[in-house]
Structure 1
């Protein structure tokens, strides 16, 4: 049985932040692994993606994902893609296309302007947010007729500050950009600090002028039964990790 987290703020558009429950994968990929870039059996990934497509009421070729590379690049879709382009966000005003983002600690961000009939989805890790993927997504939505004040953006399950330990040089790179970024860090053990990725994303979204922005407040690292986590996999010395999918469609 699939488990789909939804946000009232994105209603009535069909959308969902899928957990790992209800999938066909096994072993370290147990559950709904939707990442074709993983070393999971391709047949299992195909079954999982077909289940997601069915839940979103689209055919499998209309469930679109991109080859994510931690960039600020956005693709505008008017129909199904044959080859996955290298990008980290998608937008569309075409009904029947489901935009899917794969994550395993990074932020999946779903966007909607229901008045203009424009949606977007972004893969927003720290590098992508720092380099402007959220603002690029909003720009691409505006090019399709959306209005920022009418856009809702919801950040789905991602790593929380309590689980995101980084080194001092990481923090310094953020503070060198903008001294106010110090507010996204808290003290950790020794010289380590804790980074608040969802707060960073929410601040960027609100500063960009969206009408509403929120986080579902689910931590991928701390809930192994429901979510895949790259960082948790690394700490456990596992060979690979599954990818969660978050989807929105008109």
Structure 2
């Protein structure tokens, strides 16, 4: 389902689930190139849209981005971009956080979402889905691909962080989940099929699979497994392809983008 592509000898990833849309999860080999430059790899006539990422739950359209741009061309704070018309492209930057690309087979619209643990705790991906639906999309037409990010097996966090992210899941009663004690949330997560938590030898620490939490959020919304694709590529463990802040403490990122299409 995941395939390496090459542009001028440089590798980037694509996902069969998103084959209807030009898209790419770009590697560190493209470092220094902006979305405005990278979009030509995907579609020579598309226009790139991005935001100032702040680990929140805000998703903006190109019209909203344009309206919020300041005179000195600063991008508005948000963590997702959702297109409105064909030949618009949505972009997010990531190192260890999860880049999420979404396409709608019914309208041709697409979105790019930046989902770190903070954004995941705030349910950034469900917020993007809600915006699709508000614009007339049907949930069964949505396709979601979660790209390279730090794998749960190597992502050590505090138990408090894991519990905060875990509270983003509904479990039948979201208010109760938000009010639950951290130990209760962690125990609930451990009991899930394919649990998003792994043990850590350090007291008070745990390994957290943020991509798995996002998949659980989608499944809780009613998404079928065949609507979701998750790559196994790990930014921390594959320095030959990806930047990782957790590994190097350098503020370097790779971009992921997707281009909206017309519906025929």
Alignment TM class, shorter chain as reference: 0.7 to 0.9
3-state secondary structure, aligned to 2:10: coil
Work out which of the residue numbers 61, 76, 80 in structure 2 matches 1:85.
76
Q: Give the drift of 1:16.
A: 0.7
- Which of 215, 224, 228 does residue 230 from structure 2 map onto? 215
Which residue number corresponds to residue 251 of structure 2? 241
Query: What does residue 3 of structure 1 align with?
Result: 11
* Deviation readout 1:32-86 (Å, 9 max, x if unpaired): 2xxxxxxxxxxxx3x45454121022468x2111101111111022497354110
Q: Does 1:195 align with 2:208?
A: yes
Greater shift, 168-177 or 193-202, is seen at 168-177
Alignment check: 8 A CA contact 1:78 1:94 kept: no
Mapping of residues 96-135 of structure 1, within 5 Å: 96-135=87-126
8 Å CA contact 1:80–1:97 kept in 2: the answer is no
- Alpha carbons of structure 1 residues 79 and 56: separation in structure 2 relative to 1, 3 Å: farther
2:193 counterpart of 1:185: no
What is the match of residue 137 of structure 2? Answer: 146
1:106 Cα deviation from its structure 2 partner: 0.4
User: How many Å separate the matches in 2 of 1:161 and 1:146?
Assistant: 32
Partner residue, 1:53: 39
Structure 1 residues 181-220: Cα deviation after superposition (integer angstroms, max 9, x where no partner): 3332111123131111111111112212335112111100
Shift in Å, 1:233: 1.3
Q: CA deviation at 1:117?
A: 1.8
Shift of 1:90: 1.2
Give the 3 Å change call, closer, same or farther, for CA 125–79 of structure 1 in structure 2. closer
Matched, 1:168 2:159: yes
TM, length-normalised to structure 1? 0.81
Contact 1:74–1:137 (Cα < 8 Å) also in 2:
yes
Contact 1:150 1:210 (C-alpha < 8 Å) held by counterparts: no
Unaligned 5+ segments in structure 2 are: 1-8, 168-180
Match for residue 204 of structure 1 among 193, 202, 217: 217
* Residue matched to 1:70: 55
Separation in 2 of the partners of 1:48 and 1:116?
27
CA distance in 2, matches of 1:246, 1:66: 13
- Using the alignment, how far apart are the partners of 1:51 and 1:2 within structure 2? 14
Task: Please state whether the residue corresponding to 2:28 is helix, strand or coil.
Answer: coil
Question: CA separation in 1, counterparts of 2:44 and 2:134?
Answer: 25
Contact 2:39–2:257 (CA under 8 A) maintained in structure 1: no
* Residue 171 to residue 12, structure 1, CA distance change in 2 (3 Å): closer
Distance in 1, matches of 2:123 and 2:210, equals: 14
SS of the counterpart of 1:117?
Answer: coil
Native 8 Å contact 2:104 2:141 kept in 1: yes
- The SS at the match of 1:6 is strand
RMSD in angstroms over aligned alpha carbons? 2.1
Unaligned 5+ runs, structure 1 = 24-31, 33-44, 235-239
Structure-1 separation of matches of 2:35 and 2:126 = 28
Number of corresponding residues: 222
- Structure 1 residue 162: Cα displacement: 1.6
